[in-house]
């Protein structure tokens, strides 16, 4: 087992239309405005960008992201990541037929390349996973607030 490899899967239920959620997600350069742990996001090309993340733990992760899939019909966004994390990330926004709004699936499969985190991979793995969970929880709340501010009807995290 590669202790530096992480697979994450988060399900967010957002009380807003899938089209509104997808529209917000397809502008990653705006993520810092609503997601506190995304400290920096800037475009570097038509379908690429540089991002810097920092959650509760005192370290930054910097990546370059290259869009590999943008499907407005299926509302899927996917990117390859390089840098402190190497792998891929995917968002899939679908109508939530059980509670209304959007069922937003986040999937990530990455290897940590940052040397300090590789050295701490075994003893700190539970802490690193908890740090990621906190980041995702606050991202969901930030998204709901951003959608409310944009006037998306009834937008709130559920």
Q: Is 29 helix (H, G, I), strand (E, B) or coil?
A: helix
Cβ atoms of 80 and 69 within 8 Å: the answer is no
Is 61 inside any structural domain?
yes
Is 20 inside any structural domain?
yes
| 14 CB neighbour count, 10 Å cutoff | 25
**0.75 surpassed by pTM:** yes
SS3 content of the chain, % helix, strand, coil (to 5): 30, 40, 30
Is 157 inside any structural domain?
no
Is 141 inside any structural domain?
yes
CATH code, domain carrying 28: 3.30.530.20
- Percentage of the chain lying above the pLDDT 70 cut: 96
Using one digit for the tens of pLDDT, what is the confidence trace for 121-138? 899 999 999 999 999 999
Is 154 inside any structural domain?
no
pLDDT of residue 152: 73
Q: How many domains does the chain have?
A: 1
Is 71 inside any structural domain?
yes
Is 158 inside any structural domain?
no
């Amino acid at each position: 087992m590669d202790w530096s490899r992480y697979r994450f899967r988060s399900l967010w239920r957002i009380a807003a239309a899938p089209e509104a959620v997808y529209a917000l997600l397809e502008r990653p350069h705006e993520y810092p405005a609503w997601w506190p742990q995304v400290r920096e996001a800037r475009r570097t090309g038509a379908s690429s960008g540089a991002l810097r993340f920092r959650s509760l733990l005192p370290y930054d992760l910097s990546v370059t992201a290259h869009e590999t899939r943008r499907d407005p019909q299926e509302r899927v966004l996917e990117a390859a990541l390089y840098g402190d994390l190497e792998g891929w990330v995917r968002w899939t926004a679908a109508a939530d037929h059980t509670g209304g709004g959007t069922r937003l699936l986040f999937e990530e499969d990455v290897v940590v390349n940052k040397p300090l985190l590789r050295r701490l991979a075994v003893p700190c793995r539970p802490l690193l996973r908890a740090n990621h969970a906190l980041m995702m929880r606050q991202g969901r709340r930030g998204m709901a607030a951003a959608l409310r501010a944009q006037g998306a009807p009834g937008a709130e995290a559920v």
